[in-house]
Amino acid sequence: MCGIISYIGNSDALQVLLKGLKCLEYRGYDSAGIAIGDKTHPFQVIKAVGRVENLSQKVAQIKPAGNLGLGHTRWATHGGVTEVNAHPQVSYNGKIILVHNGVIENSATLKSLLEGKGITSKSDTDTEVLANLIAFHYESLSALPQEQRFSESVRVSLLEIQGTYGLAIICTDCPEELIGARKSSPLILGVQKDGFFLASDVSAFAGHTKEVVFLSDNEMVHIHGNHYQVQDLNNGVLTPVVQTIDWDVNFADLGSYKHYMQKEIFEQDIALKNTLLGRFSKDGSSAHLGGLQMSPHELRQVDRILLLGCGTASYACRVGEYLIERYARIPVEVECASEFRYRNAPLDKNTLVFVVSQSGETLDTLGALHEARRKGFRSLAITNVVGSTVARESDGGVYQRSGPEIGVASTKAFTGQICTLAMLALYLGRMRDMSFSEGCDFVQALQALPELVHEVLEKCDEPMRQIAHKYANYQHCFFLGRQILYPIAQEGALKLKEISYVHAEAYPTGELKHGPIALIDETMPTVILASDPSMLQKNISSMMEVKARKGKVIAIGVEGAEIPKKAYDDAIFLPKVHDAILPIITALPLQLFAYYVALERKCDVDKPRNLAKSVTVE
């Protein structure tokens, strides 16, 4: 949940670090800091509480210089939000400076051992304990040649660590060296002709290089001058695989939009077009998902599918459950990845596992992937980030190709996940009971989806702005949905909670009478998803029950549906669409509602409190 950027090369490190930190601010923004220097400039550490802009103001006054530096944006895990606890952390002897993502689980034990040797900490962080441990070993390894001493002190220290880490480390005695290491927290090496980058996200050095090396768990990279070497913690030298990342250097440009969330909501037509591109069979009756790395024969042996995800991804999985069971007739289970990894769930031997993660770095989802593979199950991924850990450690999968998503509250990645799961349902369905004509109808609906999304967003934007203005000062909200729209109701409630801090809960509409109705009064607006024509009368009955108790009803209906005006206070009517894409179309006005409510409440839409884009700690 934090961001790392570091640089060593021939350029001024300061501008690289500040630009990278701005790109990483969505990963953590309660404090930020840099360390910078080289063989002619003494190393300086500058930290600030709050946003990167606060750090930039301090840096402008101090004007540090050097071509070696570390940068970090933080979300507090150990210790409060103070400059002392912000990164970089410096060792007791001033020799070791490092930035860290993750949690050192045995930091209390290590801290006690170091205190027994007279080494104390100034901060409350687990990170300073690690810096002190490396410095202790650095002093004890003084007999080694200098070119080995720094890297060896890091290696032996990491062998004593329990927990997770993404690290960038410098030693003031070695101003031409930079070391990185990772375990269950992403770290990427960027390779440039006259310099190198270490970052937790490729966006941090976008525009500088497209050549990258994705480090794996328990690997270190030692950069010395114009060379680098990757090794494991057992001192084995590894052959790095340099990959070329294709990105748009303008992805972070807001253009005419006020926030990244707004931009990403309105990018969904393009994102979905990219998700669908080249993924249909020549006869137009099925999907083509070659990345699954499974033959039709193997897929036909699958008796059950398990979908795993966290947060928004888990709601996409629940939509996928309905789609796959309806169109492919395969039983599906959905489980929160954070729960699955800690329980011994009995699974059929012919179970196929899918893990769903926008970033591909979500720690709980990675843990679930490892648990599934440990038990011998074929495990595939649906992710948005090429080269992510989930992508590299799964047996195959599908890239969403939604493009970079910076807003913390997921929008285009969510609809991209549903779209991908819809294609999976189509693909598996055509292998089983789905007819050619049904497949063609399904494909045509998916192909029409991007343009339909564009039209719905244009149509709903201003009405949802007005509805949000009307309800922005309410402190609670219910979301109700039936069948495939229940997880869309859950996602709508989550979006409202995430960015506007309104208490919101979602229920299956039929559960209203089984408890939640006790809370209905004039202070409790209820969003009822009534865009499924097959459930219309049931939904109208629920609306009337809410209205009878003086509750406010916001209805999301379908054009042409005969909903009595007395059943709702406000309504948005969507076009009638194929059942497979109904969840995506219904999600759009809920995204707009959350966005505009947050604006009305003067919330920081892209940086909601206590949240970060990629959750890489438990």
Active site residue 550: no
What tokens were used for 523?
């202070």
Query: Can you tell me the distance from the alpha carbon of 471 to that of 469, in angstroms, rounded to the nearest whole number?
Result: 6
Residue from 111, 183, 263, 613 carrying the catalytic annotation: 613
Q: How far is CA 202 from the centre of its chain?
A: 14
What tokens were used for 470?
């009307």
Identify whether the C-beta of residue 73 lies closer than 8 Å to the C-beta of residue 27.
yes
Query: Can you tell me the distance from the alpha carbon of 546 to that of 523, in angstroms, rounded to the nearest whole number?
Result: 12
Active site residue 310: no
Residue from 2, 171, 419, 460 carrying the catalytic annotation: 2
Identify whether the C-beta of residue 184 lies closer than 8 Å to the C-beta of residue 164.
yes
Please state whether the peptide bond connecting residue 88 to the residue before it is cis, i.e. omega within 30 degrees of 0: yes
Phi then psi for 304, rounded to 5 degrees? -155, 145
End-to-end Cα distance, the chain? 10
Q: How far is CA 596 from the centre of its chain?
A: 22
Residue 521: C-alpha distances to residues 381, 547, 550 (Å): 44, 9, 5
DSSP character at residue 122: S
Residue 582: C-alpha distances to residues 288, 507, 578 (Å): 22, 18, 6
Query: Can you tell me the distance from the alpha carbon of 337 to that of 363, in angstroms, rounded to the nearest whole number?
Result: 9
Q: What amino acid occupies position 79?
A: G
Residue found by looking up tokens 């009064």 in the block: 521
Please identify every residue annotated as catalytic. 2, 613
